[in-house]
Amino acid sequence: MVVTEEQKREAHAFYKEAIQLLHESGTNFMLGGAFAMFHYTGIYRDTKDLDVFCKPSEYPKILKFFAEKGFATELTDARWLAKVFKGEYFIDIIFDTVNNICTVDDSWYDNATTAEFVGEAVKMLPAEELIWCKIYVQNRERYDGADVNHIILKWGKNLDWKRILFRLDAHWHLLLSQLIMFQFVYPSEYHEIIPKWLFDELMGRAQEQYDLPSAVERVCRGPVIDQTQYSIDIKEWDYKVSTIKTT
């Protein structure tokens, strides 16, 4: 899609107004989405929306404040998403993920990076939490594995790998598979970026799986990463749904 200079000016004005109003609202927020990706990787994507992350306790304040300013607002999904609209532009207010695993809490703010966006100082979603959110997006319509690889490639030497392992400890298989894919995509880079201790730890866990007894119940974790394509496992093949929420 070709974006005209006029559209770029309109988008820039919307972004600036939105950030200024978010600051004015007194809520604590972070910028994610395409602009966090640009911050950490340099990859630019034209977009008509802002992905704003905040704690679940913050989004009602944002919706109320923008509604009082004349914006259209919507609680899109009470589990994780609300929206603010101005014409064709909008703000996605994200306080969780659709699988209810990556709930925003104070530690996200504590580890956020600071940056300038449209002339305004903002907090950027931490790269570790950006990876955490994106690693679960593995469905037919959207797969964020390439985004994760690009974050690791461009920001990997700055990442807190222990925090990433902590975030994904319950679903460490996903982290291991992502690191193996990174090795495949960037065979000349992974030695300097991926800590060997992390790879050894995860490979050790994978090997230990064969020492465990067979599971009593037939469980499918597929819905954690794609609730559509793995629905047949639950509805027709009698698999139990893996508990999605983690601590």
Look up the CATH architecture of domain 1-125: 2-Layer Sandwich (3.30)
Give the span between the Cα atoms of 233 and 210, in whole angstroms: 23
For 16, phi and psi rounded to 5 degrees? -65, -45
Which pLDDT does position 246 carry in this prediction? 43
User: How many residues appear in the chain?
Assistant: 247
**Is this structure's pTM higher than 0.85?**
yes
Looking at residue 96, what DSSP letter applies? S
For residue 112, report the phi and psi dihedrals to the nearest 5 degrees: -65, 150
What pLDDT sits at residue 243? 62
Per-residue tokens: 5: 């200079």
Question: Cβ atoms within 10 A of the Cβ of 15, count?
Answer: 22
Sign of CA pseudo-dihedral 107, 59, 15, 19? negative
Instruction: Write down the domain spans for the chain.
Output: 1-125
Q: Please give the average pLDDT of every successive group of 10 residues along the chain, which has 247 residues.
A: 73 92 96 96 89 97 97 96 94 95 97 95 98 96 96 97 98 98 96 96 97 91 92 93 59
